[in-house]
Each structure stands twice: as C-alpha cells, then as structure tokens.
Structure 1
Amino acid sequence: MIVQVATLGPLGKLKAPGTWGSAAGVLWWALVVRLAYNKGWYHEVIFDALVVLAAIFLCGVAAAFIGKKDPQEVILDEFAAMPLVFLFNPMGSAMHGGTKTGLLFVLLGFLLFRLFDITKPFGIKALEKLPSGFGIVLDDVMAAFYANLVLQGLALLWKLL
C-alpha cells in the first residue's frame, strides 16, 4: 500500500515519471491546496508542510521496500514539492482565479520546477545524499524553492510592465 501511494499508483510506471508526479502535484495544488489558501496563507503553509513530512516518511519506506536509494518510480516527492512553487506568489490571485495570466504562471512554475529538479543546480544535488526519505524529498523541496524564487521575480517584473 505504501509503495502504491509513493508511486501515485500507475503514474510511477509511466515514461518520465517525475514529470507525471509534478503534473499530479499541480492538479493537487489546483484542486485541494487552494482550499487551504482560501482560509489564509498560513493554512496553506501548514498543509504543504504536513504533505512534505508525510512524503519524507512514505518515500523512505517505499524506497526501502523496493530496495533502491531513490527509485525512479517513487514520485510522491515531486507531487509533494510542486505546490511549494506557488507559495507567496504576487500573482496568487491570478493563479487562483484561472485567468490566462494565472495559467501562464502555473505553466511557468511547472516548467521551472522540472528544470531545477532535473538539472539539480545550486546545491540541490547534495541534498540527495541525505538518508532515506529526506534525500528523496528535500532535493525536490529545494528545486521548488528555487522555482518559487524565479517565479516570484517574474511575477514582480510582470506587474511592473
């Protein structure tokens, strides 16, 4: 059961599983995490933190069960980190409102996250060396943090133009 959760069922078996996990994370953010946002930003932060903590545990257990340090099919890490890309963004109301501009920023956030997750610059790669679920999840959390910073910069620039 834990492996099924950590692989998001059949999504972990598809080609480019990290991209599918990230796409599922965007859908999760759009359908569920926004409900927490509507109650106040701190609800979203708490909700995101709980999901990341659960992912650390579940990914660690699933990796041990599968017998690999960071199995490619375990994609709960991308799923859990993806909503962090959109935290505190100045374009939040547009992103939550489903406008064309908002959808553009959601797509940019997705692409930036995948870029940082795949290339692992600026110390992201070093986080993979952490033990168990920490190494599996925290590199994705850092990729989300970097994507968030770039997206925030783009949002501020967008508002200035």
Structure 2
Amino acid sequence: MIIAKLISTCLGIGYIRKGAGTVAAFIGCIAWYFIQVRGVNALFDLITILVITIFGIWSASVVEIEWGKDSNRVVIDELLGMCISLFLIPAELKYIALAFVFFRFFDIVKPLYIRKAEVLPGGWGVMADDVLAGIYSNILLHIVVKMSF
C-alpha cells in the first residue's frame, strides 16, 4: 500500500491540500522539458507514457480501497495527461506552457466525453479522463505547432 500511495500521489504531491493536480501537471511540464532537451527520442517518450499508465492504473486501484473513488490525492493521472499532451511536441517553453493551459482546461471542464470516461472501474476511470484530456490537448498543440511554421 505504501508504494501505491507514493506512486499515485507522485511522491507526495497529492497530499497538497489545494491544487495538487495543478502542481503535479506543472512539475510534469518541467520534468518533460528537461528530459526532452537531453535529446531523448519518441520511443523513450512512448515507453514513459506506457509505464506511467500501467503504474497509475495499478496504484489508483489500490489506494481506492482506502481513499475512495478518484481521490483528489491521486495525481499520477495529471502527470500522465501532461506527458500525453506533450508527446511529439517541440520542447519549447511556449508549447509546454500552452500544453499546460490546454490540459488543465480539458481536465477541469471535462468536455467532449471526458467526464464519461470517469465511470470506468478502479484505476481505469481515474486515468482514462486524463488520457482523453491529454489527447485533446495534444491534437490542439499539433495544430498550433503546424500553424507556427
């Protein structure tokens, strides 16, 4: 249970009382930027997203027993959503900032069937809405990047 709590709270970020999801998303942006400027490739990024997804589903399912469905302490889903938002996007601060804004919008407002994804059982529901928010953000970012050139 301790490992599941560490993972699901992103090493304790989820224990922040107000804005833990926003903090986790912001830290995800910072980490993604520093990883990208080191020149990693898309395969590394994809593997990172898959690992976060697997551990996120598992840990969110485990902590749900004690904390209840989709506890606000679980922020691994925000980290995943940011990674998906930034997938194959140039590591430029303007795009990372825009990814943060787009993702938080979709994650908070939950349009376009995002809210419906939360009904999935256990960790699947916790992670699915942020996956969709990340995908929508990523699509918008790709449009912005294409229009910028």
TM-score calculated relative to the size of structure 1: 0.83
5+ residue gaps, structure 1, are 96-101
State the partner residue of 1:23: 26
Displacement over 3 Å in runs of 4+: none
Match 2:6 to one of 4, 11, 19: 4
Offset of 1:39 from its aligned partner?
4.4
State the partner residue of 2:52: 51
State the partner residue of 1:99: none
Please list the CA deviations of residues 69-98 of structure 1 after superposition, one character each: whole Å capped at 9, or x if unmatched: 110111111012211111123xx1xx2xxx
Matches within 5 A, 1:52-131: 52-66=53-67, 68-89=68-89, 92=90, 95=91, 102-131=92-121
Letter in 2 for 1:112: F
Please list the CA deviations of residues 99-125 of structure 1 after superposition, one character each: whole Å capped at 9, or x if unmatched: xxx111110000100000001111110
Q: Distance in 2 between matches of 1:130 and 1:112?
A: 23
SS in 2 for 1:38: coil
TM-score calculated relative to the size of structure 2: 0.89
5+ residue gaps, structure 2, are none
Q: Distance in 2 between matches of 1:47 and 1:5?
A: 14
Please list the CA deviations of residues 123-149 of structure 1 after superposition, one character each: whole Å capped at 9, or x if unmatched: 110100000000001110110000000
Q: Alpha carbons of 1:16 and 1:151: their partners in 2 closer, same or farther (altered >3 Å)?
A: same
Q: Alpha carbons of 1:62 and 1:27: their partners in 2 closer, same or farther (altered >3 Å)?
A: farther
Letter in 1 for 2:19: A
% identical aligned pairs? 27
Q: Distance in 1 between matches of 2:26 and 2:48?
A: 19
The structure whose Rg is larger is 1
Give the alignment's Cα RMSD to 1 decimal: 1.7
Q: Distance in 1 between matches of 2:135 and 2:26?
A: 17
Letter in 2 for 1:83: C
Please list the CA deviations of residues 41-66 of structure 1 after superposition, one character each: whole Å capped at 9, or x if unmatched: 12221221121111111111112222
Q: Distance in 1 between matches of 2:115 and 2:9?
A: 21
Offset of 1:29 from its aligned partner?
1.6
